[in-house]
């Protein structure tokens, strides 16, 4: 094992217990209850030891790579994890050193931080993070591996990811199909571990989200800084075009295969990077969904005679999505309209309001939101970098929900037409489910319109 001289690096090894682990065996619990169902398993889960040994290394000068090998008798995935000393350089010249995981050593994007302590796979597959390097503030990530059932898109959507401590030896969960390092490698995502994420988060919290470049130390600070400054600003950037569907398609059955009753209301979904769990929630209400590209023309959608319009989440600047703003304007007042995240911002623009970029955005699972009509406070899951300017709202559109952290707009309600929207993610995944009722509100609105 060789490491480059520099800051101490923390690597964690699991101590195997020969009595608790048999090489080649597959352990599963007898049953697991999920979403009201019990899934059988072939056998009991053994009680693995929780003892760990921590090693700090100081290395020889001149070395550039670290190869961490795990023997076949350990209770981890056999094989090796390649680690290369790398650096995250921000466009203001600030640099944070760490270890690049696997063979993908470079990444470029807007650097943001997320305070979620779980749900990392849902975060990394959320198309709303497209073009961003996500910094996890929680200290330890990856111990329960990955499971394709929780993907929000077919694969990772982030430009890169930064950890304080990435669990390297292998996943420790019966439902895991691959450990996180292997999953990131398969998705071509540049990942950095061993970073002082507390210092990085405080810098972003103070200076605001910044563009950044992950690259090997051999690039040098000048070249790395130049590459970071060359990354396009998120202002005016239409990233929805990169992640939306290219052709319309039907969704009839949620991923769990269960539909409560008949699909009786036709809903057109404008896709700007929609999460799979949002479609699941809409289908679970018995809605007949046709998913359209976010830039689909009004005439094509109207030909299908939808009874409701849903505007999805997505990445980038809402002001760059003029095509969707115009389509939304033409549907408002004709059929019920509901928007989430980017869809909320597009509805605000369609009403005549303006949007602006937040200093470091809202990215986490514990944002308190006040519903004005009820006085109820909901804990919400959020992921966005822009907000609607409440001072520019026209008559007939009111703020229905406020963010209690920074007093930004979290919801809008139209007074004369059946339309409303939410800045946060009521479907959660990951996150709390305090606001799931908004989906039922949308369905009831369609039902009332068609009574």
pLDDT at 264: 81
The residue to which tokens 């694969």 are assigned: 155
CA distance 211 to 233: 8
CA distance 58 to 10: 10
Q: CB under 8 Å to 244, separation ≥6 — which residues?
A: 271, 272, 273, 293, 294, 295, 314
287-293 and 265-271 beta bridge pairing: parallel
* Topology (CATH level 3) of domain 240-449: Rossmann fold (3.40.50)
| Domain boundary assignment for the chain | 9-229, 240-449
The one-digit pLDDT tens for each residue of the chain (451 residues) are 344 434 444 433 333 333 333 333 332 333 333 334 333 333 333 333 332 323 222 232 333 333 333 322 222 333 467 899 999 999 999 999 999 998 878 999 999 999 999 999 999 999 999 999 999 999 999 999 999 999 999 999 999 999 999 988 777 788 898 899 999 999 999 999 999 999 999 999 999 999 999 999 999 999 999 999 999 999 999 999 999 999 999 976 676 666 655 668 999 999 999 999 999 999 989 899 999 999 999 999 999 999 999 999 999 999 999 999 999 999 999 999 999 999 999 999 999 999 999 999 999 999 999 999 999 999 999 999 999 999 999 999 999 999 999 999 999 999 999 999 999 999 988 888 888 899 999 999 999 999 8
CA distance 249 to 270: 11
CA distance 215 to 218: 8
Tokens of 392: 């520019």
pLDDT at 15: 36
**Looking at domain 9-229, which of 2.60.40.10, 3.10.290.10, 3.30.870.10, 3.50.30.20 is its CATH number?**
3.50.30.20
pTM across the whole model: 0.82
State pLDDT tens for residues 63-110.
Answer: 333 333 332 222 233 346 789 999 999 999 999 999 999 887 899 999
CA nearest neighbour of 143 among 97, 174, 187: 174
Q: Which residues are catalytic?
A: 341, 425, 427
Residues 321-333 as b or e (16 or more Cβ within 10 Å = b): bebbbebbbebbe
CA distances from 161 to 72, 133, 185, 213 (A): 29, 5, 12, 11
| Number of other CB atoms surrounding residue 360 within 10 Å | 18
Q: CB under 8 Å to 248, separation ≥6 — which residues?
A: 290, 291, 292, 293, 296, 300
pLDDT at 404: 97
State pLDDT tens for residues 250-261.
Answer: 976 676 666 655
pLDDT at 11: 39
CA distance 25 to 55: 29
pLDDT at 19: 37
């Amino acid at each position: 094992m060789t490491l480059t001289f520099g800051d101490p690096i923390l690597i964690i090894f699991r101590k195997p217990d020969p009595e608790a682990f048999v090489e080649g065996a597959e352990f599963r619990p007898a049953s697991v209850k999920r979403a009201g169902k019990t899934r059988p398993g072939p056998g009991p889960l053994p009680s693995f030891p929780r003892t760990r040994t921590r090693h700090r290394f100081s290395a020889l000068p001149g070395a550039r790579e670290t190869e961490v090998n795990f023997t076949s008798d350990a209770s981890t995935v056999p094989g090796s994890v390649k680690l290369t000393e790398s650096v995250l350089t921000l466009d203001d010249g600030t640099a944070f050193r760490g270890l690049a995981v696997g063979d993908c050593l470079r990444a470029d994007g807007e650097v943001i931080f997320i305070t979620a302590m779980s749900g990392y796979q849902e975060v990394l597959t959320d198309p709303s993070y497209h073009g961003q390097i996500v910094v996890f503030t929680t200290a330890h990530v990856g111990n329960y591996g990955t499971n394709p059932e929780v993907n929000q898109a077919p694969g990772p959507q982030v430009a890169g990811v930064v950890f304080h401590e990435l669990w390297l030896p292998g996943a420790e969960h019966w439902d895991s199909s691959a450990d996180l390092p292997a999953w990131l490698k398969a998705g071509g995502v540049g990942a950095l571990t061993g970073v002082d994420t507390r210092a990085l988060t405080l810098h972003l919290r103070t200076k605001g989200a910044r563009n950044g470049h992950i690259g090997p130390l051999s690039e040098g600070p000048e070249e790395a800084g130049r590459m970071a400054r060359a990354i396009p600003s998120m202002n005016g950037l239409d990233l929805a075009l990169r992640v939306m569907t290219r052709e319309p398609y039907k969704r009839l059955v949620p991923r769990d295969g269960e539909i409560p009753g008949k699909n009786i209301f036709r809903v057109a979904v404008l896709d700007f990077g929609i999460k799979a769990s949002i479609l699941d929630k809409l289908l679970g209400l018995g809605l007949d969904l046709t998913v359209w590209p976010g830039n689909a023309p009004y005439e094509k959608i109207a030909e299908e005679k939808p009874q409701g319009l849903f505007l999805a989440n997505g990445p980038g600047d809402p002001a760059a999505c003029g095509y969707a703003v115009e389509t939304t304007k033409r549907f408002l007042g004709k059929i019920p309209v509901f928007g989430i995240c980017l869809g909320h911002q597009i509805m605000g623009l369609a009403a005549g309001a303006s949007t602006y970029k937040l200093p470091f955005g809202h990215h986490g699972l514990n944002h308190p939101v006040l519903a004005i009509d009820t006085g109820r406070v909901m804990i919400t899951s959020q992921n966005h970098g822009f907000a609607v300017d409440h001072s520019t709202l026209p008559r007939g559109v009111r703020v229905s929900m406020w963010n209690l952290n920074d007093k930004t707009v979290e919801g809008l309600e139209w007074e004369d037409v059946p339309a409303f929207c939410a800045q946060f993610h009521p479907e959660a995944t990951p996150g709390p489910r305090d606001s799931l009722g908004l989906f039922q509100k949308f369905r009831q609105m369609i039902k009332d319109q068609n009574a």
